[in-house]
Structure 1
Amino acid sequence: MSTTLEAVRSRRSWSKVTDVAPTRAEIEVLVSAAGRVADHSSLRPWRLIELRGDDRERLGRAINKAAGQKGASSKPMRAPLLIAIVASYRKSKVARWEQEAVASGVAHMLSLLLDDAGWGVLWRTGDYTRSKAVAKAHGLEKDEELLGWLYVGGKPPTRKIARRKAVDARRHLSRMPRGKKADELDATDAD
């Protein structure tokens, strides 16, 4: 197993995968680990839905219904396994946006774990994730929202793996602002 830094640096999205997928038992081990993300008040405001086989066809029909089209979208058929990420909001002092951030964190952590375990993963979203037809197909409750799906399958053999350009941390990392406005704020806090 690689180090965390190596796993994160080598991660990429796999838009094309083979027809093999992890077993339910393999996924459960990874979900257990992914669920350890930072979670204010340990609410666990998320759940995952596994879609295989005909489930993907049902999702394709719901996607087309949301788009006002007949038949079934072929999008869900692009991977043998889809894992729907659901923000399952709890009544709490913890803000809704913070609960959604936890669900997103679980999805991202799971995608990293799947990639590190040798699986190809792509997180798909779209306007239809918030449609009534798609929510109904997933059996979502009143206080739940779909955040997208992890498309999971085998990594196809490739001749050359395209690497993502490294992030220039200096463009995204700054210090707390200083200057007249910051000093004025500090002065009012001291009162």
Structure 2
Amino acid sequence: MTANHDDLAALNRRRSTPSRQLGEPGPDEAQLETILAAAVRVPDHGKLAPWRFLRVRGDTRLQLGELLAARARERDPQAPEAAVEKDRRRFSFAPLIVAVIARLTPGHKVPEIEQLLSGGAVCFAMLQAAQAQGFGAQWLTGWAAYDPVVLARLGLAENERLLGFMHIGTSNEPAPERDRPDPRDLLSDLSL
């Protein structure tokens, strides 16, 4: 088998762009469709397509920030104003946020963990596809991804879980690199 060095190089260049560094322009409709088409090519045992997408853009980003700020105050009335303001601005940077939502089928022959892992692969594929089109992207969760009040306002059903908010836009500075583990340190051989 012949290695495609361009594909491997693209994988090795992947890095997250902090959401605060993302601005206009974001993906247009065709570019978003390309990103999502790449994302749904992930392993999906049982062909369940156990995920869906929720687009957040325009003023809705700011409304979501207001929801988070209000909810942060409900959760902790003594929260410092700086923390509340950070929640208020959380979705105001990237022009496009796509929430990736796992749609679990309990009791299916495909275990729920495999359904969740497929959704995690969708998130990673979205990062790769966004970067391949010249955009910066970051996969974020935070407390809001697990808060029942926020999840209800986002319209999640009982069998759904928020896997992450994918912030996508144009990077206004180079994405930072970080130290990566040496894969040789993580590899061992099975000996029975």
Report the TM range for the smaller structure's normalisation: 0.7 to 0.9
Unpaired segments of 5 or more residues in structure 1?
Answer: 183-191
Contact 1:59 1:134 in 2 (8 A): no
- Matching residue's letter, 1:163: E
1:83 to 88, 98, 115: 98
Partner residue of 1:13 out of 16, 19, 25: 16
Mean CA deviation greater in 142-151 or 68-77: 68-77
Residues 99-157 of structure 1: per-residue CA shift (max 9 Å, x gap)? 11001100101111101110010111112211122212321111101112111111224
Aligned to 2:130: 114
| TM superposition outliers: structure 1 runs of 4+ over 6 Å | none
2:68 to 63, 68, 72: 63
Deviation of 1:57 after TM superposition, in Å, equals 1.7
Q: TM-score, normalised by structure 2?
A: 0.83
Q: Who is 1:170 aligned against?
A: 184
Percentage of identical aligned residues: 30
What SS does the aligned partner of 2:153 have? helix
Amino acid at match of 1:138: L
Aligned pairs for 1:1-191 within 5 A: 3-15=6-18, 16-68=21-73, 73-91=88-106, 92-158=108-174, 162-176=176-190, 178=191, 182=192
1:165 CA drift (Å): 3.1
- How far does the alpha carbon of each residue in 1:18-56 deviate from its partner, in whole angstroms, 9 at most, with x for none? 221001221112211221111111111001111001221
The farther-off stretch of 112-121 and 165-174 is: 165-174
Q: Which amino acid aligns with 1:153?
A: G
Larger radius of gyration: 1
> Structure 2 vs 1, CA of residues 58 and 136 (structure 1 numbering), >3 Å: closer, same or farther?
farther
Residues in 1 aligned to 2:96 and 2:57: alpha-carbon distance in whole angstroms: 5
Amino acid at match of 2:132: D
Q: Unaligned 5+ residue runs, structure 2? A: 75-83
- State the number of aligned residues: 175
8 Å CA contact 1:65, 1:133 repeated in 2: no
User: What is the identity, as a one-letter code, of the residue corresponding to 1:12?
Assistant: R
The alignment yields a C-alpha RMSD, in angstroms, of 2.0
User: Residues 165 and 139 from structure 1, CA distance in 2 versus in 1: closer, same or farther, beyond 3 angstroms?
Assistant: same
Distance 1:162 1:124 in 2: 16
Amino acid at match of 1:73: R
CA distance in 2 between counterparts of 1:57 and 1:162 reads 26
Secondary structure of the 1:73 match is helix
